[in-house]
Structure 1
Amino acid sequence: MNEKVKALYDKLIQGVEDVFLSERYLEFLKFSLNFRNYSFENTILIFLQNPNATYVAGYKTWEKLGRHIRKGEKGIAIFAPLFKKSKEIDKETGEEVELSKLNGFRIVYVFDISQTEGKDIPSIVTHLSGDNSIELYNKLLELSPVPVSFDNLPVGKNGYYDLITQEIVISNKLTGNQRTKTLLHEVVHSFVEKETLKDDNDRRRAEIIAEGTTFVVANYFDLDTSDYSFGYLAGWSENPKEIIKWGSEIQKTANFIIDKLNKIEIKLVS
Protein backbone atom coordinates (compact mmCIF):
# COMPACT_ATOMS: atom_id res chain seq x y z
CA MET A 1 0.00 0.00 0.00
CA ASN A 2 1.65 3.28 -1.08
CA GLU A 3 1.80 6.31 1.19
CA LYS A 4 -1.02 8.17 -0.54
CA VAL A 5 -3.35 5.19 -0.30
CA LYS A 6 -2.32 4.59 3.32
CA ALA A 7 -3.06 8.24 4.17
CA LEU A 8 -6.51 7.92 2.62
CA TYR A 9 -7.18 4.70 4.52
CA ASP A 10 -6.09 6.35 7.79
CA LYS A 11 -8.54 9.15 6.99
CA LEU A 12 -11.19 6.47 6.47
CA ILE A 13 -10.54 4.97 9.93
CA GLN A 14 -10.75 8.40 11.57
CA GLY A 15 -13.90 9.15 9.65
CA VAL A 16 -15.51 5.94 10.85
CA GLU A 17 -14.88 6.96 14.45
CA ASP A 18 -16.47 10.36 13.81
CA VAL A 19 -19.47 8.81 12.04
CA PHE A 20 -20.25 6.08 14.52
CA LEU A 21 -19.73 8.10 17.68
CA SER A 22 -22.49 10.53 16.83
CA GLU A 23 -25.85 10.89 15.15
CA ARG A 24 -23.91 10.91 11.86
CA TYR A 25 -24.21 7.11 12.11
CA LEU A 26 -27.84 7.24 11.01
CA GLU A 27 -27.06 10.05 8.58
CA PHE A 28 -24.46 7.82 6.94
CA LEU A 29 -26.74 4.77 6.76
CA LYS A 30 -29.42 6.83 5.04
CA PHE A 31 -26.75 8.29 2.74
CA SER A 32 -25.57 4.79 1.80
CA LEU A 33 -28.93 4.03 0.16
CA ASN A 34 -27.69 5.99 -2.86
CA PHE A 35 -24.50 3.95 -3.14
CA ARG A 36 -25.56 0.32 -2.96
CA ASN A 37 -23.09 -0.68 -5.69
CA TYR A 38 -20.07 0.74 -3.85
CA SER A 39 -18.06 -0.99 -1.15
CA PHE A 40 -18.63 0.06 2.43
CA GLU A 41 -15.16 1.66 2.53
CA ASN A 42 -15.75 3.72 -0.62
CA THR A 43 -19.21 4.75 0.58
CA ILE A 44 -17.60 6.07 3.77
CA LEU A 45 -15.00 7.98 1.72
CA ILE A 46 -17.67 9.56 -0.48
CA PHE A 47 -19.69 10.51 2.61
CA LEU A 48 -16.69 12.11 4.34
CA GLN A 49 -15.75 14.20 1.31
CA ASN A 50 -19.25 15.13 0.13
CA PRO A 51 -22.10 14.20 2.51
CA ASN A 52 -24.60 15.76 0.09
CA ALA A 53 -23.62 13.50 -2.82
CA THR A 54 -26.44 11.56 -4.49
CA TYR A 55 -24.80 9.94 -7.53
CA VAL A 56 -21.12 9.76 -8.42
CA ALA A 57 -19.22 8.64 -11.50
CA GLY A 58 -15.85 9.10 -13.14
CA TYR A 59 -14.97 11.74 -15.71
CA LYS A 60 -15.38 9.43 -18.72
CA THR A 61 -18.72 8.07 -17.49
CA TRP A 62 -20.12 11.58 -17.16
CA GLU A 63 -18.94 12.33 -20.69
CA LYS A 64 -20.78 9.28 -22.02
CA LEU A 65 -23.93 10.49 -20.24
CA GLY A 66 -23.64 13.85 -22.01
CA ARG A 67 -22.50 15.80 -18.96
CA HIS A 68 -19.18 17.46 -18.13
CA ILE A 69 -17.44 18.42 -14.90
CA ARG A 70 -17.73 22.09 -14.01
CA LYS A 71 -14.43 23.98 -14.06
CA GLY A 72 -12.72 24.07 -10.66
CA GLU A 73 -14.64 21.13 -9.16
CA LYS A 74 -12.59 18.88 -6.88
CA GLY A 75 -12.84 15.11 -7.37
CA ILE A 76 -13.87 12.67 -4.63
CA ALA A 77 -11.05 10.18 -3.94
CA ILE A 78 -11.99 6.49 -3.66
CA PHE A 79 -10.18 3.16 -3.89
CA ALA A 80 -10.06 1.18 -7.15
CA PRO A 81 -8.68 -2.38 -7.30
CA LEU A 82 -5.50 -3.19 -9.19
CA PHE A 83 -5.38 -6.58 -10.90
CA LYS A 84 -2.33 -8.46 -12.12
CA LYS A 85 -2.60 -10.97 -14.92
CA SER A 86 -0.72 -14.23 -14.68
CA LYS A 87 -0.67 -17.54 -16.50
CA GLU A 88 -1.12 -20.85 -14.70
CA ILE A 89 -1.72 -24.44 -15.62
CA ASP A 90 -5.27 -25.66 -14.97
CA LYS A 91 -4.97 -28.77 -12.76
CA GLU A 92 -8.02 -30.42 -14.32
CA THR A 93 -7.40 -29.77 -18.01
CA GLY A 94 -3.61 -29.31 -18.03
CA GLU A 95 -4.08 -26.25 -20.22
CA GLU A 96 -2.53 -22.87 -19.64
CA VAL A 97 -5.08 -20.27 -18.50
CA GLU A 98 -4.81 -16.55 -17.86
CA LEU A 99 -5.88 -15.40 -14.42
CA SER A 100 -6.47 -11.95 -13.00
CA LYS A 101 -5.61 -11.54 -9.32
CA LEU A 102 -6.07 -8.61 -6.96
CA ASN A 103 -2.74 -6.83 -6.59
CA GLY A 104 -3.54 -3.86 -4.37
CA PHE A 105 -5.46 -0.61 -4.75
CA ARG A 106 -5.00 2.79 -6.33
CA ILE A 107 -6.79 6.09 -5.86
CA VAL A 108 -9.24 7.27 -8.51
CA TYR A 109 -11.52 10.28 -8.53
CA VAL A 110 -15.27 10.49 -9.05
CA PHE A 111 -17.61 13.47 -9.18
CA ASP A 112 -21.12 13.95 -7.86
CA ILE A 113 -23.87 14.89 -10.30
CA SER A 114 -24.09 18.28 -8.55
CA GLN A 115 -20.55 18.96 -9.83
CA THR A 116 -21.60 18.42 -13.44
CA GLU A 117 -23.82 20.04 -16.02
CA GLY A 118 -25.29 18.98 -19.34
CA LYS A 119 -27.99 16.53 -20.37
CA ASP A 120 -30.69 15.55 -17.92
CA ILE A 121 -30.49 11.96 -16.76
CA PRO A 122 -33.19 9.68 -15.31
CA SER A 123 -33.86 9.69 -11.58
CA ILE A 124 -31.11 7.71 -9.87
CA VAL A 125 -32.91 6.44 -6.77
CA THR A 126 -36.53 5.36 -6.65
CA HIS A 127 -38.57 4.57 -3.56
CA LEU A 128 -41.87 2.78 -3.23
CA SER A 129 -44.88 5.07 -2.96
CA GLY A 130 -48.18 4.67 -1.15
CA ASP A 131 -48.66 3.10 2.28
CA ASN A 132 -45.25 1.50 2.32
CA SER A 133 -45.42 0.36 5.92
CA ILE A 134 -48.35 -1.96 5.18
CA GLU A 135 -46.81 -3.22 1.95
CA LEU A 136 -43.41 -3.73 3.57
CA TYR A 137 -45.02 -5.57 6.48
CA ASN A 138 -46.77 -8.02 4.16
CA LYS A 139 -43.63 -8.52 2.10
CA LEU A 140 -41.67 -9.31 5.26
CA LEU A 141 -44.21 -11.95 6.29
CA GLU A 142 -43.65 -13.62 2.93
CA LEU A 143 -39.88 -13.17 2.98
CA SER A 144 -39.30 -14.54 6.49
CA PRO A 145 -37.43 -17.87 6.30
CA VAL A 146 -39.08 -18.99 9.56
CA PRO A 147 -42.69 -18.92 10.85
CA VAL A 148 -43.93 -15.67 12.40
CA SER A 149 -46.37 -15.69 15.32
CA PHE A 150 -47.81 -13.10 17.71
CA ASP A 151 -47.97 -13.41 21.48
CA ASN A 152 -48.60 -11.39 24.63
CA LEU A 153 -44.96 -10.54 25.36
CA PRO A 154 -43.79 -8.68 28.50
CA VAL A 155 -43.83 -4.88 28.44
CA GLY A 156 -40.68 -3.59 26.76
CA LYS A 157 -40.11 -6.72 24.68
CA ASN A 158 -41.25 -6.10 21.13
CA GLY A 159 -40.22 -9.38 19.59
CA TYR A 160 -37.51 -11.99 19.24
CA TYR A 161 -36.03 -14.59 16.93
CA ASP A 162 -35.50 -18.05 18.44
CA LEU A 163 -32.65 -19.87 16.70
CA ILE A 164 -33.48 -23.17 18.42
CA THR A 165 -37.19 -23.33 17.58
CA GLN A 166 -36.66 -21.49 14.30
CA GLU A 167 -39.46 -18.96 14.79
CA ILE A 168 -40.07 -15.24 15.11
CA VAL A 169 -42.44 -14.02 17.81
CA ILE A 170 -43.81 -10.46 17.73
CA SER A 171 -45.70 -8.72 20.53
CA ASN A 172 -49.42 -8.62 19.77
CA LYS A 173 -49.50 -5.14 21.32
CA LEU A 174 -47.61 -3.63 18.37
CA THR A 175 -49.32 -1.97 15.43
CA GLY A 176 -48.41 0.08 12.37
CA ASN A 177 -44.83 1.17 11.74
CA GLN A 178 -43.47 -0.18 15.02
CA ARG A 179 -44.80 -3.64 14.20
CA THR A 180 -43.26 -3.47 10.71
CA LYS A 181 -39.94 -2.23 12.07
CA THR A 182 -39.81 -4.95 14.73
CA LEU A 183 -40.65 -7.67 12.21
CA LEU A 184 -37.92 -6.41 9.91
CA HIS A 185 -35.37 -6.44 12.74
CA GLU A 186 -36.20 -10.05 13.63
CA VAL A 187 -36.25 -11.16 9.98
CA VAL A 188 -32.71 -9.78 9.67
CA HIS A 189 -31.70 -11.84 12.71
CA SER A 190 -33.20 -14.96 11.10
CA PHE A 191 -31.04 -14.47 8.01
CA VAL A 192 -27.72 -13.64 9.66
CA GLU A 193 -27.72 -15.78 12.82
CA LYS A 194 -26.69 -19.33 11.94
CA GLU A 195 -25.40 -20.46 15.32
CA THR A 196 -25.93 -19.67 19.01
CA LEU A 197 -24.29 -16.43 20.12
CA LYS A 198 -21.28 -17.27 22.28
CA ASP A 199 -20.83 -14.13 24.39
CA ASP A 200 -21.68 -10.46 24.87
CA ASN A 201 -19.42 -9.45 21.98
CA ASP A 202 -21.31 -11.79 19.66
CA ARG A 203 -24.61 -10.38 20.87
CA ARG A 204 -23.45 -6.79 20.44
CA ARG A 205 -22.28 -7.49 16.91
CA ALA A 206 -25.55 -9.26 16.04
CA GLU A 207 -27.71 -6.41 17.37
CA ILE A 208 -25.73 -3.66 15.63
CA ILE A 209 -25.88 -5.54 12.30
CA ALA A 210 -29.60 -6.26 12.75
CA GLU A 211 -30.61 -2.70 13.67
CA GLY A 212 -28.23 -1.08 11.21
CA THR A 213 -29.65 -3.26 8.44
CA THR A 214 -33.19 -2.52 9.64
CA PHE A 215 -32.56 1.21 9.41
CA VAL A 216 -31.17 0.98 5.86
CA VAL A 217 -33.91 -1.32 4.55
CA ALA A 218 -36.75 0.56 6.28
CA ASN A 219 -35.58 3.91 4.94
CA TYR A 220 -35.22 2.44 1.46
CA PHE A 221 -38.94 1.71 1.65
CA ASP A 222 -39.73 5.15 3.09
CA LEU A 223 -40.18 4.00 6.68
CA ASP A 224 -38.02 6.31 8.82
CA THR A 225 -36.86 4.55 12.01
CA SER A 226 -34.33 7.22 13.04
CA ASP A 227 -35.79 8.05 16.47
CA TYR A 228 -35.87 4.40 17.52
CA SER A 229 -32.74 3.13 15.78
CA PHE A 230 -30.30 5.75 17.05
CA GLY A 231 -31.01 5.09 20.70
CA TYR A 232 -30.95 1.33 20.11
CA LEU A 233 -27.60 1.43 18.31
CA ALA A 234 -26.04 3.84 20.79
CA GLY A 235 -26.91 1.38 23.54
CA TRP A 236 -25.09 -1.49 21.83
CA SER A 237 -22.06 0.27 20.28
CA GLU A 238 -18.71 0.15 22.10
CA ASN A 239 -15.70 0.27 19.81
CA PRO A 240 -16.34 2.27 16.63
CA LYS A 241 -13.29 0.79 14.88
CA GLU A 242 -14.93 -2.65 14.99
CA ILE A 243 -17.83 -1.27 12.96
CA ILE A 244 -15.63 -1.08 9.84
CA LYS A 245 -16.26 -4.83 9.57
CA TRP A 246 -19.81 -4.69 10.91
CA GLY A 247 -20.66 -1.80 8.62
CA SER A 248 -19.65 -3.88 5.62
CA GLU A 249 -21.96 -6.66 6.81
CA ILE A 250 -24.79 -4.16 7.33
CA GLN A 251 -24.43 -2.96 3.76
CA LYS A 252 -24.20 -6.48 2.33
CA THR A 253 -27.17 -7.77 4.35
CA ALA A 254 -29.30 -4.71 3.55
CA ASN A 255 -28.63 -5.10 -0.18
CA PHE A 256 -29.54 -8.79 0.01
CA ILE A 257 -32.85 -8.13 1.79
CA ILE A 258 -33.76 -5.12 -0.38
CA ASP A 259 -33.24 -7.19 -3.52
CA LYS A 260 -35.37 -10.02 -2.11
CA LEU A 261 -38.18 -7.66 -1.06
CA ASN A 262 -38.21 -5.93 -4.43
CA LYS A 263 -38.97 -9.26 -6.10
CA ILE A 264 -42.05 -9.91 -3.94
CA GLU A 265 -45.34 -8.64 -5.33
CA ILE A 266 -48.11 -7.98 -2.82
CA LYS A 267 -51.70 -7.27 -3.79
CA LEU A 268 -53.30 -5.11 -1.13
CA VAL A 269 -57.06 -5.39 -0.62
CA SER A 270 -58.67 -1.97 -0.13
Structure 2
Amino acid sequence: MKKFTEKEKKVYKENLKKQTDKMQNLITELAESYKNSPEDYLEFLEFSSKFYNYSIKNQTLIMEQNKGASLCGSFKFFKDLGYSVNRGEKAIKIFVPTPLTFIKIPTKSGFDIKLISEATPAEKRDYKNGLIAGYKKTSFKIGNIFDIGQTNIPAEDIPKIFNYTTDTKLNLDEQENILIDFAQNHEIEIAIDSTSALTIRGKYNPLTNSIIISDKLDQHARIVTLSHEIGHALLHRHIEIDNIPTAHKELQADTISLLICNKLNIPITDSRKSHLAETLSLLDEKDNVLDIISPAMSIEKELLSELEELKETELNCFRQKTNDDYEIEL
Protein backbone atom coordinates (compact mmCIF):
# COMPACT_ATOMS: atom_id res chain seq x y z
CA MET A 1 0.00 0.00 0.00
CA LYS A 2 1.30 3.45 -0.93
CA LYS A 3 2.58 5.61 1.92
CA PHE A 4 1.39 9.20 1.72
CA THR A 5 3.61 12.08 2.76
CA GLU A 6 2.50 14.47 5.50
CA LYS A 7 1.98 17.14 2.83
CA GLU A 8 -0.25 14.82 0.78
CA LYS A 9 -2.25 13.91 3.88
CA LYS A 10 -2.73 17.59 4.70
CA VAL A 11 -3.95 18.42 1.17
CA TYR A 12 -6.32 15.43 1.23
CA LYS A 13 -7.79 16.47 4.59
CA GLU A 14 -8.25 20.07 3.42
CA ASN A 15 -10.02 18.97 0.22
CA LEU A 16 -12.18 16.51 2.15
CA LYS A 17 -13.20 19.25 4.60
CA LYS A 18 -14.11 21.61 1.75
CA GLN A 19 -16.28 18.96 0.09
CA THR A 20 -17.86 17.93 3.39
CA ASP A 21 -18.66 21.55 4.28
CA LYS A 22 -20.18 22.07 0.83
CA MET A 23 -22.46 19.04 1.26
CA GLN A 24 -23.45 20.07 4.80
CA ASN A 25 -24.26 23.60 3.62
CA LEU A 26 -26.38 22.18 0.81
CA ILE A 27 -28.38 20.11 3.30
CA THR A 28 -28.90 23.17 5.51
CA GLU A 29 -30.07 25.28 2.56
CA LEU A 30 -32.53 22.61 1.42
CA ALA A 31 -33.89 22.18 4.94
CA GLU A 32 -34.45 25.94 5.11
CA SER A 33 -36.23 25.94 1.74
CA TYR A 34 -38.74 23.34 2.94
CA LYS A 35 -40.09 25.84 5.50
CA ASN A 36 -41.22 28.12 2.68
CA SER A 37 -42.37 25.50 0.19
CA PRO A 38 -44.82 22.76 1.22
CA GLU A 39 -44.65 21.46 -2.37
CA ASP A 40 -40.90 20.87 -2.08
CA TYR A 41 -41.37 19.20 1.29
CA LEU A 42 -44.05 16.87 -0.10
CA GLU A 43 -41.77 16.05 -3.02
CA PHE A 44 -38.95 15.22 -0.61
CA LEU A 45 -41.13 12.86 1.46
CA GLU A 46 -42.36 11.07 -1.66
CA PHE A 47 -38.77 10.73 -2.85
CA SER A 48 -37.50 9.60 0.56
CA SER A 49 -39.87 6.62 0.65
CA LYS A 50 -37.80 5.05 -2.15
CA PHE A 51 -34.61 5.43 -0.12
CA TYR A 52 -35.58 4.58 3.45
CA ASN A 53 -32.36 2.58 3.87
CA TYR A 54 -30.46 5.87 3.73
CA SER A 55 -30.22 8.55 6.40
CA ILE A 56 -32.35 11.67 6.07
CA LYS A 57 -29.29 13.72 5.12
CA ASN A 58 -28.31 11.25 2.41
CA GLN A 59 -31.89 11.17 1.12
CA THR A 60 -31.66 14.93 0.74
CA LEU A 61 -28.32 14.71 -1.05
CA ILE A 62 -29.51 11.99 -3.43
CA MET A 63 -32.63 13.94 -4.37
CA GLU A 64 -30.70 17.15 -4.98
CA GLN A 65 -28.16 15.42 -7.22
CA ASN A 66 -30.56 13.12 -9.09
CA LYS A 67 -34.31 13.71 -8.68
CA GLY A 68 -35.04 10.85 -11.07
CA ALA A 69 -33.18 8.29 -8.96
CA SER A 70 -35.15 5.18 -8.05
CA LEU A 71 -32.65 2.62 -6.74
CA CYS A 72 -29.05 3.38 -5.82
CA GLY A 73 -25.99 1.34 -5.01
CA SER A 74 -22.23 1.47 -5.03
CA PHE A 75 -20.08 0.50 -8.01
CA LYS A 76 -19.38 -2.81 -6.25
CA PHE A 77 -23.09 -3.39 -5.55
CA PHE A 78 -23.94 -3.41 -9.24
CA LYS A 79 -20.75 -5.31 -10.14
CA ASP A 80 -21.67 -8.10 -7.71
CA LEU A 81 -25.02 -8.40 -9.52
CA GLY A 82 -23.14 -8.97 -12.77
CA TYR A 83 -23.68 -5.51 -14.24
CA SER A 84 -21.66 -2.32 -14.42
CA VAL A 85 -22.00 1.44 -14.24
CA ASN A 86 -22.00 3.08 -17.66
CA ARG A 87 -18.77 4.80 -18.61
CA GLY A 88 -18.69 8.52 -17.87
CA GLU A 89 -21.56 8.52 -15.35
CA LYS A 90 -21.27 11.08 -12.55
CA ALA A 91 -21.45 9.60 -9.07
CA ILE A 92 -23.93 10.74 -6.42
CA LYS A 93 -22.04 11.91 -3.34
CA ILE A 94 -23.28 10.78 0.07
CA PHE A 95 -21.96 10.50 3.62
CA VAL A 96 -20.76 7.02 4.59
CA PRO A 97 -20.34 6.10 8.28
CA THR A 98 -16.85 4.84 9.05
CA PRO A 99 -15.95 3.23 12.40
CA LEU A 100 -12.59 4.41 13.74
CA THR A 101 -10.51 3.02 16.59
CA PHE A 102 -8.26 5.32 18.59
CA ILE A 103 -5.62 4.21 21.08
CA LYS A 104 -4.16 6.14 24.01
CA ILE A 105 -0.38 5.97 24.09
CA PRO A 106 0.99 6.71 27.60
CA THR A 107 3.46 9.60 27.81
CA LYS A 108 5.18 11.42 30.68
CA SER A 109 2.58 14.19 30.54
CA GLY A 110 -0.48 11.98 29.95
CA PHE A 111 -1.59 10.36 26.71
CA ASP A 112 -1.15 10.76 22.98
CA ILE A 113 -4.21 9.86 20.91
CA LYS A 114 -3.49 7.91 17.74
CA LEU A 115 -5.56 6.08 15.13
CA ILE A 116 -5.02 2.34 15.34
CA SER A 117 -4.28 2.36 11.61
CA GLU A 118 -1.32 4.68 12.27
CA ALA A 119 0.00 2.71 15.26
CA THR A 120 3.21 0.71 15.22
CA PRO A 121 3.04 -3.11 15.22
CA ALA A 122 4.05 -3.09 18.89
CA GLU A 123 1.31 -0.58 19.79
CA LYS A 124 -1.29 -2.61 17.92
CA ARG A 125 -0.17 -5.73 19.77
CA ASP A 126 -0.34 -3.98 23.14
CA TYR A 127 -3.85 -2.69 22.35
CA LYS A 128 -4.98 -6.17 21.32
CA ASN A 129 -3.61 -7.61 24.57
CA GLY A 130 -5.32 -4.92 26.65
CA LEU A 131 -2.12 -3.16 27.66
CA ILE A 132 -3.12 0.07 25.90
CA ALA A 133 -6.55 1.67 26.31
CA GLY A 134 -8.60 2.79 23.35
CA TYR A 135 -12.03 3.82 22.19
CA LYS A 136 -14.18 3.69 19.07
CA LYS A 137 -15.81 6.56 17.25
CA THR A 138 -17.94 6.81 14.13
CA SER A 139 -16.74 9.28 11.55
CA PHE A 140 -18.11 10.02 8.09
CA LYS A 141 -16.36 9.94 4.76
CA ILE A 142 -17.71 10.84 1.33
CA GLY A 143 -18.82 7.87 -0.74
CA ASN A 144 -20.01 7.40 -4.31
CA ILE A 145 -23.23 5.70 -5.37
CA PHE A 146 -25.06 5.42 -8.69
CA ASP A 147 -28.70 5.12 -9.71
CA ILE A 148 -29.85 2.03 -11.53
CA GLY A 149 -30.52 4.24 -14.57
CA GLN A 150 -26.77 4.84 -14.77
CA THR A 151 -26.03 1.14 -15.24
CA ASN A 152 -26.37 -1.37 -18.08
CA ILE A 153 -29.14 -3.34 -16.33
CA PRO A 154 -31.94 -3.92 -18.91
CA ALA A 155 -35.33 -2.58 -17.84
CA GLU A 156 -36.91 -6.02 -18.23
CA ASP A 157 -34.45 -7.52 -15.72
CA ILE A 158 -35.16 -5.02 -12.93
CA PRO A 159 -38.33 -6.70 -11.54
CA LYS A 160 -36.56 -10.08 -11.41
CA ILE A 161 -33.42 -8.75 -9.74
CA PHE A 162 -35.05 -6.52 -7.13
CA ASN A 163 -38.36 -8.34 -6.65
CA TYR A 164 -40.39 -5.37 -7.86
CA THR A 165 -44.15 -5.76 -8.02
CA THR A 166 -46.80 -3.67 -9.71
CA ASP A 167 -48.16 -1.11 -7.29
CA THR A 168 -51.81 -2.08 -6.83
CA LYS A 169 -54.23 0.76 -6.13
CA LEU A 170 -56.25 0.45 -2.96
CA ASN A 171 -59.82 1.54 -2.44
CA LEU A 172 -60.93 3.52 0.62
CA ASP A 173 -62.11 0.46 2.55
CA GLU A 174 -58.77 -1.27 2.03
CA GLN A 175 -56.82 1.82 3.06
CA GLU A 176 -58.88 2.18 6.23
CA ASN A 177 -58.60 -1.52 7.08
CA ILE A 178 -54.81 -1.37 6.79
CA LEU A 179 -54.60 1.59 9.17
CA ILE A 180 -56.95 -0.09 11.66
CA ASP A 181 -54.82 -3.25 11.54
CA PHE A 182 -51.68 -1.15 11.97
CA ALA A 183 -53.17 0.56 15.03
CA GLN A 184 -54.13 -2.81 16.53
CA ASN A 185 -50.56 -4.06 16.03
CA HIS A 186 -49.39 -1.13 18.15
CA GLU A 187 -52.19 -1.50 20.73
CA ILE A 188 -53.74 1.82 19.74
CA GLU A 189 -57.47 1.98 20.40
CA ILE A 190 -59.65 3.79 17.85
CA ALA A 191 -63.12 5.19 18.44
CA ILE A 192 -65.42 7.11 16.10
CA ASP A 193 -67.26 9.62 18.22
CA SER A 194 -68.64 13.13 18.35
CA THR A 195 -66.04 15.68 19.39
CA SER A 196 -66.53 18.78 21.47
CA ALA A 197 -65.98 21.10 18.51
CA LEU A 198 -66.60 20.89 14.78
CA THR A 199 -63.03 22.03 14.13
CA ILE A 200 -61.52 19.00 15.90
CA ARG A 201 -61.11 16.20 13.38
CA GLY A 202 -59.33 13.80 15.70
CA LYS A 203 -57.34 13.57 18.90
CA TYR A 204 -54.71 11.27 20.40
CA ASN A 205 -54.56 10.58 24.14
CA PRO A 206 -51.06 9.36 25.18
CA LEU A 207 -52.28 8.31 28.64
CA THR A 208 -54.65 5.72 27.19
CA ASN A 209 -52.88 5.27 23.83
CA SER A 210 -56.19 5.88 22.10
CA ILE A 211 -57.47 7.90 19.16
CA ILE A 212 -60.86 9.55 18.74
CA ILE A 213 -61.96 10.41 15.21
CA SER A 214 -64.85 12.79 14.54
CA ASP A 215 -68.02 11.16 13.24
CA LYS A 216 -68.58 14.20 11.01
CA LEU A 217 -65.79 13.29 8.55
CA ASP A 218 -66.22 11.48 5.26
CA GLN A 219 -64.18 8.31 4.74
CA HIS A 220 -61.21 9.94 3.00
CA ALA A 221 -60.92 12.65 5.67
CA ARG A 222 -61.29 9.98 8.35
CA ILE A 223 -58.39 7.98 6.88
CA VAL A 224 -56.13 11.03 6.59
CA THR A 225 -56.95 12.14 10.14
CA LEU A 226 -56.31 8.64 11.45
CA SER A 227 -52.90 8.57 9.75
CA HIS A 228 -52.00 11.89 11.44
CA GLU A 229 -53.09 10.73 14.90
CA ILE A 230 -51.16 7.48 14.40
CA GLY A 231 -48.15 9.72 13.87
CA HIS A 232 -48.70 11.23 17.31
CA ALA A 233 -49.13 7.75 18.80
CA LEU A 234 -45.88 6.46 17.33
CA LEU A 235 -43.79 9.49 18.27
CA HIS A 236 -45.33 11.15 21.31
CA ARG A 237 -46.58 8.42 23.62
CA HIS A 238 -43.51 7.92 25.79
CA ILE A 239 -42.02 11.42 25.86
CA GLU A 240 -42.67 14.66 27.70
CA ILE A 241 -44.70 16.20 24.90
CA ASP A 242 -45.19 19.45 26.82
CA ASN A 243 -41.49 20.14 26.28
CA ILE A 244 -41.87 19.99 22.50
CA PRO A 245 -43.22 23.05 20.63
CA THR A 246 -46.66 22.44 19.14
CA ALA A 247 -45.44 23.21 15.62
CA HIS A 248 -42.72 20.56 15.98
CA LYS A 249 -45.19 17.92 17.18
CA GLU A 250 -47.61 18.71 14.37
CA LEU A 251 -44.90 18.58 11.70
CA GLN A 252 -43.65 15.25 13.04
CA ALA A 253 -47.16 13.76 13.01
CA ASP A 254 -47.81 15.27 9.58
CA THR A 255 -44.63 13.67 8.29
CA ILE A 256 -45.72 10.21 9.43
CA SER A 257 -49.15 10.85 7.94
CA LEU A 258 -47.71 11.89 4.58
CA LEU A 259 -45.39 8.86 4.49
CA ILE A 260 -48.44 6.66 5.11
CA CYS A 261 -50.45 8.45 2.43
CA ASN A 262 -47.66 8.00 -0.12
CA LYS A 263 -47.34 4.31 0.72
CA LEU A 264 -51.07 3.59 0.50
CA ASN A 265 -51.72 5.88 -2.49
CA ILE A 266 -53.97 8.17 -0.47
CA PRO A 267 -54.42 11.46 -2.39
CA ILE A 268 -52.94 14.60 -0.82
CA THR A 269 -55.76 17.15 -1.08
CA ASP A 270 -55.42 20.93 -1.29
CA SER A 271 -56.71 21.29 2.27
CA ARG A 272 -54.03 18.85 3.40
CA LYS A 273 -51.37 20.95 1.68
CA SER A 274 -52.79 24.08 3.31
CA HIS A 275 -52.54 22.45 6.73
CA LEU A 276 -48.92 21.54 6.05
CA ALA A 277 -48.16 25.08 4.87
CA GLU A 278 -49.68 26.48 8.06
CA THR A 279 -47.62 24.11 10.22
CA LEU A 280 -44.40 25.02 8.40
CA SER A 281 -45.17 28.73 8.76
CA LEU A 282 -45.31 28.36 12.55
CA LEU A 283 -41.69 27.21 12.78
CA ASP A 284 -39.14 29.61 14.21
CA GLU A 285 -36.44 31.10 12.03
CA LYS A 286 -33.78 29.04 13.81
CA ASP A 287 -35.68 25.75 13.37
CA ASN A 288 -34.15 23.13 11.08
CA VAL A 289 -36.84 21.05 9.38
CA LEU A 290 -34.65 17.97 9.00
CA ASP A 291 -33.73 18.04 12.70
CA ILE A 292 -37.39 18.39 13.68
CA ILE A 293 -38.60 15.47 11.58
CA SER A 294 -35.65 13.25 12.51
CA PRO A 295 -37.76 11.19 15.00
CA ALA A 296 -40.29 10.49 12.25
CA MET A 297 -37.70 9.62 9.61
CA SER A 298 -35.83 7.34 12.04
CA ILE A 299 -38.80 4.92 11.97
CA GLU A 300 -39.54 5.34 8.26
CA LYS A 301 -38.08 1.97 7.28
CA GLU A 302 -40.02 0.00 9.91
CA LEU A 303 -43.20 1.97 9.19
CA LEU A 304 -43.17 1.42 5.43
CA SER A 305 -42.15 -2.24 5.76
CA GLU A 306 -45.03 -2.96 8.13
CA LEU A 307 -47.50 -1.13 5.89
CA GLU A 308 -46.28 -3.16 2.91
CA GLU A 309 -46.96 -6.41 4.79
CA LEU A 310 -50.43 -5.24 5.85
CA LYS A 311 -51.14 -4.08 2.31
CA GLU A 312 -50.25 -7.50 0.92
CA THR A 313 -52.43 -9.21 3.54
CA GLU A 314 -55.36 -6.94 2.72
CA LEU A 315 -55.00 -7.57 -1.01
CA ASN A 316 -54.77 -11.33 -0.46
CA CYS A 317 -58.01 -11.21 1.53
CA PHE A 318 -59.63 -9.28 -1.31
CA ARG A 319 -58.37 -11.80 -3.90
CA GLN A 320 -59.61 -14.72 -1.81
CA LYS A 321 -63.04 -13.11 -1.42
CA THR A 322 -63.18 -12.44 -5.17
CA ASN A 323 -62.32 -16.07 -5.93
CA ASP A 324 -64.94 -17.32 -3.45
CA ASP A 325 -67.61 -15.07 -4.98
CA TYR A 326 -66.67 -16.30 -8.45
CA GLU A 327 -66.98 -19.94 -7.38
CA ILE A 328 -70.41 -19.27 -5.84
CA GLU A 329 -71.64 -17.65 -9.04
CA LEU A 330 -70.49 -20.67 -11.03
* Structure 2 residue aligned with 1:136: 175
* Structure 2 residue aligned with 1:253: 299
* Structure 2 residue aligned with 1:218: 261
Secondary structure in 2 matching 1:121: helix
Query: Do residues 148 (structure 1) and 185 (structure 2) align?
Result: no
* Comparing 182-191 and 219-228, the one that deviates more: 219-228
TM-score, normalised to structure 1, is 0.85
List alignment gaps of at least 5 residues for structure 2.
1-15, 105-128, 323-330
Secondary structure in 2 matching 1:68: coil
Secondary structure in 2 matching 1:160: strand
Secondary structure in 2 matching 1:214: helix
Query: Do residues 28 (structure 1) and 28 (structure 2) align?
Result: no
CA contact (8 A) 1:215 1:226 kept: no
Describe how 1:194-205 pairs up with structure 2 within 5 A.
194-195=238-239, 197-198=241-242, 202-205=245-248
Q: Note the alpha carbon deviations across 1:201-248, whole angstroms, 9 max, x for none.
A: 521111101111111121112113253432222111224742121232
Structure 1 residue identity aligned to 2:211 = I
Over 4 Å off, 4+ runs: 123-128
Q: Note the alpha carbon deviations across 1:15-67, whole angstroms, 9 max, x for none.
A: 22223421110001000111010000000000111111111111111222233
| Matches of 1:186 and 1:2, distance apart in 2 | 42
* Structure 1 residue aligned with 2:21: 6
CA contact (8 A) 2:99 2:139 kept: yes
Report deviation, 1:99: 8.9
Call closer, same or farther: CA 1:28–1:82 in 2, change over 3 Å.
same
Call closer, same or farther: CA 1:5–1:125 in 2, change over 3 Å.
farther
CA contact (8 A) 1:215 1:229 kept: no
RMSD: 2.8
Identity of aligned residues (%): 26
Which of 84, 106, 113 in structure 2 is aligned with 1:68?
84
List alignment gaps of at least 5 residues for structure 1.
89-94
Return the structure number with greater relative CO, CA threshold 8 A, min gap 6.
Answer: 1
| Matches of 2:182 and 2:246, distance apart in 1 | 24
Report deviation, 1:127: 6.7
Q: Note the alpha carbon deviations across 1:137-171, whole angstroms, 9 max, x for none.
A: 11222332232111123323211112244321101
Which of 288, 296, 312 in structure 2 is aligned with 1:242?
288
* Comparing 231-240 and 31-40, the one that deviates more: 231-240
| Matches of 1:229 and 1:99, distance apart in 2 | 52
Call closer, same or farther: CA 1:42–1:132 in 2, change over 3 Å.
farther
Larger Cα Rg: Structure 1 or Structure 2? 2
* Structure 1 residue aligned with 2:124: none
